[in-house]
Structure formats: structure tokens, C-alpha cells
Amino acid sequence: MPKVTYVQQDGTQTVLDLPPGTTVMRGAVAAGVRGIVAECGGNLMCATCHVYAAEADLFPDPTADEDELLDCTAEPRRDNSRLSCRLTLTDQVDDLVIHVPGAQT
């Protein structure tokens, strides 16, 4: 089962074991992880689930729609910026480190 570590700006960590097929966003929201707002519920419309994925290369490249929304995030876009609603966990993901930006809106 994939292990996801959510790291807050202050260094606080939340570690979750999430089943394959779960998105990084859904796992965070279900567990009450701070900083993942997810206003649109994972429908690729708001960019309030922006994260910095240390292992972004484990996932398919962002679609054009995700890429466009990443230009509208509250915190600066980085090379490893992703929308967590687009990061679906698979059996190939063992350990994933997700850094949560300081603001989403």
C-alpha cells in the first residue's frame, strides 16, 4: 500500500497509508490534512489542491488543463508543482513525499 507523507511549511508531517486508486488529494481531505483545500472536489477547476511532489516523475505528465491551472496557484509554481487531484496512487508508488504550500487561495 502506498505511503504518502504530507509535509507542512512548519515541518509537521502527516503519514498516511492509502490504497491504490486513491488520489493524493482525496487521501488528504479524508484525513483532514491541513492546506489541501480542494474547493472543486477534484474536478480540475480550482487549483486549491496544489502541492510540490518530490517524486513527481512517478506520475504521468500534467495535462494541458492541469498545466494551465498550475499557472494560477496562490504559491509560486515550481518544477515539481502538481494538482493533488491528478495524482492517483498505484502499486508502483511505495513512498511519496508531498510538500503542502503555505496558501491555496
Residue 89's pLDDT band, with cuts at 50, 70 and 90, is: very high
Model pLDDT for residues 3-23, shown as the tens digit of each residue: 999 999 999 999 999 999 999
**Which residues make beta-bridge pairs with 7?**
13, 99
Residue 105's pLDDT band, with cuts at 50, 70 and 90, is: confident
Confidence (pTM)? 0.95
Domains of the chain in sequence order: 3-99 (3.10.20.30)
The dihedral built from the CA positions of residue 72, 73, 74 and 78, taken in this order, carries a sign that is negative
Which backbone phi and psi does 82 adopt, to 5 degrees? Answer: -145, 160
Model pLDDT for residues 58-75, shown as the tens digit of each residue: 999 999 999 999 999 999
Position 79 scores a pLDDT of: 96
Closest CA to 36 of 90, 86, 83, 95: 83
Position 7 scores a pLDDT of: 98
Residues 98 and 81: their CA atoms lie apart, in Å, by 10
Q: What is the CA radius of gyration of the chain?
A: 12
Residue 2's pLDDT band, with cuts at 50, 70 and 90, is: very high
